[in-house]
């Protein structure tokens, strides 16, 4: 692990010098307030739930580390320690005889600086008894003793011993006894997105290909920049395009520019006596060129690597425009340390090139074969389709007018969607699953209860890769009140489509039919067009028409259901801003919900698992936000959607002792029938799809020269009655306004709580 990541979680805390006359040590922590995670300087102290056990009693902190990644830290407002006469850190420690640990000191160039650096010393020579250590700041080579912001203890040599610490203080002059315990500067780790553990060598006869990347997710590759190993991969924006799933499943297509390259990193793989090379399928134009760079690092640091090179010609490759299996034998790379492999880089692309799954292979050759997803046969069960004698047919839209539908109400599409009206038909082409076409049945609320036994009929040609949604107005039937619409239910058009006609029972839309708004065609997951000639309500369907059973679609919410409630639902952000977020919500004494992406939880360098464990232990709710943050409804098929949900649930369970959630926030708010129905299959029919009615618009304003517009957006939506928030702790400006957001919400008189509490979930903790 890279220890410098850990203390960075407190980097956003406000800093100023604390003056203290140097006539005695300045106590950092006497552990009298550890139960509230406060030290003697009234600042945050914690192990981020990284220990197997930890507690404080009678001024002594006792803890038992876990293997490899346990730590404990003290934060405080920036200390100009040297100017105030302090020259060391002193503390009492009890560890196993002959044991060791590491101490990190975090300092800035000045107390007004935003960034920090970390310096380390190794703590050795422990005796098994309580002993005092006094470590001069001069031992932390290059550290600025006039801008100290924290200390971290980590790297504990024993996980079976209960360690103890007490009396942590800044030393003054010769204060504090210096014992024979030795300290020495430790190697300074550079914060990266890499882990450094080597892959162990398997026993003879058990070798199988070790997957590097199976190209299963566009967002994993191009949004999070992870490969299948959870390690960095990127083209650094040198390509014209990088597209997963082209030309087929488990493939990636590169369209290069001059100087394009692509790299992927490994967890310091030890291939000696096990893997003999890397294999992958490649499709490239006849006569194309390609160069391969393999890096190894004696320190497992990819930034301090030795590079070795070979061309396609050196490897005996030739391309003819068809896909073939190619191998990269390590024996072709002179000077490569096969015990510590860290990176492969491809360059010299001379045309559009596609890769298949890439893996380390054993023996003379080998290939990783991606397991095909289970086939989903689509709807099999059908339901009766009786006629509805209580209602006549109702024509909603015949597309004769670009400005209004047949009922004289609004119809139109989102900006970016192509709409072409001609000959009483409408052709829709959508490049984004976020876009929708709307046709309203009322200028306010319309009562459709008499149509409950009827059918929505859409006549079409072209694609059916879209969602049909029936929208419900809010209880006041007032579009100036948030949310509007209040909710909707969605049906997958292709399930109900045959021979140019779609028939969907109105009863398949689980909404309040007494206050409907209209229909929306949305969630397009194909760039092909659909041409519509009519949207209408009919009382019966033609003989022989089969109607599939309704898919479960969960509950789509934009607002709290509990009267007089308000909920902050916070999406993933920057780990180094997390502690500032926690500090604010702790001081404001509220509980919130955090929606977390699964893949970064598995990357130890982000420290997000420990951050969220701390959030969970403080009483906050954790919920799902996908595995790699794609637009879920824009994914090409059920298998892609299922992979996102299943991997997200697995990640959550693996990191939080089996915990999972039925609450899901779709990335970018992109909703549709497929992502809803597949969510219910992943987490159960009571799934909640949580969008929002208060948007701080951090995505729009946070990095502009008018970040205060985030406050304007928040106040605007609160004034409309919104009570369910979306924000990200991605940007310092957003986090700096968080306290004001909370105080604005409190001023409404509403009670602030978690999402599950505001949804009146019987399984939520009591208020």
What CATH number is associated with residue 488? 2.60.120.430
Instruction: Give the residues of the chain that fall short of pLDDT 70.
Output: 1-22, 68, 173-206, 375-380
User: Are 414 and 292 part of one and the same domain?
Assistant: no
**Distance from C-alpha of 524 to C-alpha of 527, rounded to nearest angstrom:** 8
Helix (H, G, I), strand (E, B) or coil at 546: coil
Residue 705 and residue 619 share a domain: yes
Query: Do 238 and 109 fall into the same domain?
Result: no
The reply to whether 48 falls in a domain is yes
Residues 263 and 118 in one domain: no
Residue 373 falls within a domain, yes or no? Answer: no
Residues 167 and 221 placed together within one structural domain of the fold? no
* Strands, E assignment, 17-145: 26-29, 45-46, 51-57, 60-65, 71-79, 86-94, 101-107, 117-124, 131-136
- Considering the domain architecture, whether residues 611 and 746 belong to the same structural domain is answered as yes
Residues 416 and 318 in one domain: no
698 assigned to some structural domain: yes
Q: Domain for residue 649, yes or no?
A: yes
Q: Residue 604: what pLDDT?
A: 87
| Residue that finishes a domain, picked among 550, 565, 582 | 550
Which of 301, 332, 362 lies at the terminal end of a domain, its last residue? 362
- With 0-12 CB in 10 A as exposed, 13-18 as middle and 19+ as buried, what is 177? exposed
Please report, for the domain that includes residue 572, its CATH number.
3.20.20.370
Q: Is residue 302 part of a domain?
A: yes
Is residue 752 within 8 Å of residue 746, measured between CB atoms?
yes
pLDDT for res 68: 61
Q: Considering the domain boundaries, does residue 202 fall inside one?
A: no
Q: Rounded distance, CA 111 to CA 114, Å? A: 8
Last residue of a domain, one of 332, 362, 392: 362
163, 64 Cβ separation under 8 angstroms: yes
Residue 368 resides in a domain = no
The Cα-based distances of 301 to 509, 593, 603, 745 in angstroms read 55, 36, 16, 47
The Cα 613–Cα 591 span in angstroms is 14
pLDDT of residue 375: 66
Task: Check if the beta carbon of residue 554 is closer than 8 Å to that of residue 689.
Answer: yes
Among left, alpha and beta (phi > 0; psi -120 to 50; other), residue 468 is: beta
For residue 724, what are its two tokens?
A: 């369910």
- Same domain for 578 and 650, yes or no, is yes
Query: Can the peptide bond before residue 371 be classed as cis, meaning omega within 30 degrees of 0?
Result: no
Domain presence at residue 201: no
Same domain as 116, residue 41: yes
Tell me: do 18 and 84 sit in the same domain: yes
Q: Which residues lie below 8 Å from residue 542, measured CB to CB, with a gap of 6+?
A: 501
CATH value at residue 100 = 2.60.120.260
Tell me how many degrees the CA angle 520-595-608 measures, rounded to the nearest 5. 150
For 99, the token pair is 């044991």
pLDDT by residue (tens digit) across 244-260?
A: 999 999 999 999 999 99
Q: Is the peptide bond before 485 cis (omega within 30 degrees of 0)?
A: yes
Range of the domain at 487: 384-550
508-527, pLDDT tens digit by residue?
Answer: 999 999 999 999 999 999 99
In this structure, the answer to whether residues 502 and 645 fall within a common structural domain is: no
What is the signed CA dihedral for 186, 187, 190, 195, rounded to 10 degrees? -100
3-state secondary structure (DSSP) of residue 444: coil
What are the phi and psi torsion angles at 38 (to 5°)? -115, 140
The count of domains in the chain is: 4
Report the relative pairing of strands 323-329 and 275-283 from DSSP bridges. Answer: antiparallel
Q: Is 570 found in the same domain as 489?
A: no
């Amino acid at each position: 692990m890279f220890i410098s990541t850990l203390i960075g979680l407190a980097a956003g805390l406000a800093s100023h010098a604390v003056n203290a006359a140097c006539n005695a040590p300045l106590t950092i922590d006497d552990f009298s307030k550890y139960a509230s995670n406060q030290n003697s300087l009234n600042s945050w102290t914690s192990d981020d739930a990284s220990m197997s056990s930890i507690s404080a009693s009678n001024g002594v902190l006792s803890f038992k580390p876990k293997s490899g990644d346990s730590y404990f830290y003290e934060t405080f407002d920036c200390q100009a320690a040297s100017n105030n006469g302090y020259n060391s850190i002193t503390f009492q420690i009890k560890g196993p005889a002959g044991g060791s640990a590491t101490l990190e000191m975090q300092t800035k160039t000045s107390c007004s600086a935003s960034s920090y650096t970390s310096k380390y010393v190794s703590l050795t020579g422990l005796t098994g008894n309580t002993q005092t250590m006094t470590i001069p700041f001069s031992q932390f080579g290059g550290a600025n003793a006039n801008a100290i912001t924290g200390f971290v203890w980590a790297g504990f040599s024993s996980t079976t011993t209960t360690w103890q610490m007490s009396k942590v203080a800044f030393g003054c002059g010769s204060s504090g006894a210096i014992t024979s315990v030795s300290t020495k500067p430790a190697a300074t780790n550079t914060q990266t997105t890499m882990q450094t553990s080597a892959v162990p060598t398997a026993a003879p006869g058990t070798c199988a290909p070790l997957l590097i990347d199976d190209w299963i997710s566009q967002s994993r590759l191009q949004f999070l920049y992870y490969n299948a190993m959870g390690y960095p991969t990127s083209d650094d924006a040198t390509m014209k395009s990088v597209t997963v799933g082209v030309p087929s499943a488990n493939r990636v297509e590169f369209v290069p520019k001059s100087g394009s390259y692509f790299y992927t990193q490994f967890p310091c793989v030890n291939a000696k006596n096990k893997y003999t090379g890397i294999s992958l399928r490649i499709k490239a134009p006849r006569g194309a060129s390609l160069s391969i760079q393999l890096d190894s690092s004696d320190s497992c640091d990819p930034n301090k690597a030795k590079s070795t090179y070979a061309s396609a010609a050196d490897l005996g490759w030739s391309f003819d425009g068809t896909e073939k299996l190619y191998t990269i034998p390590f024996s072709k790379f002179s000077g490569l340390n096969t015990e510590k492999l860290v990176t492969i880089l491809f360059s010299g692309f001379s045309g559009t090139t596609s890769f298949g799954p890439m893996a380390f292979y054993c023996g003379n050759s080998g290939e990783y074969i991606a397991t095909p997803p289970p086939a989903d046969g689509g709807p099999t069960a059908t339901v009766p389709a009786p006629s509805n004698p209580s209602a006549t047919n109702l024509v909603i839209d015949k597309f004769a007018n670009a400005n209004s539908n047949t009922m004289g109400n609004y119809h139109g599409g989102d900006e970016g969607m192509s709409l072409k009206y001609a000959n009483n038909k409408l052709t829709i082409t959508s490049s984004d699953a976020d876009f929708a076409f709307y046709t309203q049945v009322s200028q306010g609320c319309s009562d459709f209860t008499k149509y409950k036994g009827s059918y929505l009929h859409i006549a079409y040609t072209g694609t059916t890769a879209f969602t049909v949604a029936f929208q419900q107005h809010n209880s006041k039937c007032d579009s100036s009140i948030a949310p509007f619409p209040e909710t909707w239910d969605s049906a997958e058009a292709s399930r109900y489509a045959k021979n140019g006609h779609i028939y969907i029972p109105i009863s398949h839309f689980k909404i309040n039919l007494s206050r409907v708004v209209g229909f929306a065609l949305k969630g397009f997951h194909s760039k092909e067009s659909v041409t519509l000639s009519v949207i209408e309500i009919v009382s019966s369907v033609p003989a022989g028409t089969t109607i599939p059973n309704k898919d479960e679609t969960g509950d789509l919410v934009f607002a709290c259901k509990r009267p007089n409630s308000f909920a902050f639902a916070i999406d993933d952000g920057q780990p180094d801003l997390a502690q500032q977020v926690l500090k604010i919500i702790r001081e404001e004494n509220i509980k919130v919900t955090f929606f977390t992406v699964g893949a970064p939880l598995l990357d130890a360098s982000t420290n997000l698992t420990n951050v969220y464990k701390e959030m969970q232990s403080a009483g906050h709710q954790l919920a799902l936000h996908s595995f790699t943050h794609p637009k879920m409804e824009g994914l090409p098929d059920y298998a892609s959607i299922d992979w996102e949900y299943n991997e997200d649930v697995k990640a959550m369970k693996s990191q939080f002792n089996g915990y999972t959630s039925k609450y899901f926030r779709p990335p970018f708010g992109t909703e549709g029938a497929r992502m809803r129905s597949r969510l219910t299959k992943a987490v159960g029919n009571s799934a909640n799809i949580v969008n929002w009615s208060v948007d701080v618009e951090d995505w729009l304003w946070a990095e502009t020269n008018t970040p205060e517009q985030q406050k304007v957006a928040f106040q605007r939506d609160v004034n409309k009655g919104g009570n369910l928030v979306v924000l990200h702790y991605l940007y310092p400006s957003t986090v700096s306004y968080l306290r004001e957001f909370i105080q604005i919400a409190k001023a409404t008189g509403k009670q602030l709580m978690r999402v599950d509490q505001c949804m009146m979930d019987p399984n939520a903790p009591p208020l």
